[in-house]
Amino acid sequence: MGTTSDDRGRRQLSDEAAAHVRGLIMSGKLTPGSTVRPETVGQALSISTTPAREALQALRVEGFLELVPRRGFQVAPLTGQDIRDLFRVQALIAGELAARAAASPASADLAELEALHHELIAAARRNDHALLEEKNHAFHRHINKMAGSRKIIWALSLITRYVPRQFYSTIPGWPQATVDDHEELLNGIRTGDSEKTRAAMVSHIVHAGELLATHFDERVSKAAPVDDLTSA
């Protein structure tokens, strides 16, 4: 029996709910030990309980949540060092893609990156966090596309799903770090220097991971576990 449109729609809602809760956990808004109920996830996102529960089950498989008898889903232990480790792995893979992208950049690709960078700078100046995140994602996605390696991009996607881009722009220092670090990346690509570009990408992602990890540790140290998503 084939997959129906209802099944696909529910799966999409479940994926969106999982990404939302994952972001709350990684940003420290939901601290380790906090209870997460499918009913409140559904209410927060205006979806039914079924895809919300499926999202929490998926997060349990990923290790973000634990299912505690008689207490339901709770946020699993997570530390700033865990976040640094995830970003370090991401940096190594993204660095390889960046090095390949810099090997022989087409003029059209370089022009696209320059345009995205200028749009990103403008969004940062206006404190438009949503647009900043959008342009940052597009900038990295285009570099990965330039690398021309579907398998490495696939491997990167497995890691980045654990490092959601939501909430980055609200972290102190992140917007300016993004603007500055991207300039270093562009310099490497402009000159066709693969190793310089690799080093710039690794440094950029490790830097972002440090900012997020520091923010996470500070937030968790000041907060007690919440007993419901609505308290986050």
What does the pLDDT look like over 94-124, one tens digit per residue?
999 999 999 999 999 999 999 999 999 999 8
Q: Which of 165, 205, 161, 156 is nearest to 62 (CA)?
A: 161
Radius of gyration, alpha carbons of the chain: 19
Asked if 34 contacts 232 with a C-beta cutoff of 8 angstroms, the reply is: yes
Q: pLDDT-derived band of residue 187, with 50, 70 and 90 as boundaries? A: very high
State the pLDDT at residue 161: 78
Q: pLDDT-derived band of residue 12, with 50, 70 and 90 as boundaries? A: confident
State the pLDDT at residue 114: 96
State the pLDDT at residue 219: 83
Q: Given a cut of 90, is residue 188 above it in pLDDT?
A: yes
- 65 forms bridges with which residues in the sheet? 75
- 3-class secondary-structure state, position 166: coil
CA atoms within 13 A on the CB side of 74: 14
Q: Given a cut of 90, is residue 55 above it in pLDDT?
A: yes
| CATH for 5-78, options being 2.130.10.10, 1.10.10.10, 3.60.21.10, 2.40.50.140 | 1.10.10.10
CA distance 215 to 222: 11
Domains 5-78 and 80-218 share a fold: no
**What homologous superfamily is domain 80-218 in, according to CATH?**
GntR ligand-binding domain-like (1.20.120.530)
pTM confidence score: 0.82
Please give the structure tokens belonging to residue 127: 């404190």
Interhelix angle 80-103/174-190, rounded to 10 degrees, is 30
CA distance 207 to 134: 19
Q: Where are the beta strands (DSSP E) in 17-131?
A: 35-36, 65-68, 72-75
Please give the structure tokens belonging to residue 175: 């917007």
Q: What is the mean pLDDT of residues 166-189?
A: 86
Q: What is the mean pLDDT of residues 16-27?
A: 89
Q: What is the mean pLDDT of residues 193-203?
A: 97
State the pLDDT at residue 3: 52
User: pLDDT tens-digit profile of 137-176?
Assistant: 999 999 999 999 999 999 999 888 777 666 677 788 888 8
**Which residue ranges make up each domain of the chain?**
5-78, 80-218
Q: What is the mean pLDDT of residues 220-230?
A: 66
Mean pLDDT taken over the chain: 89
Q: Which residue is it, tokens 């029996």? A: 1
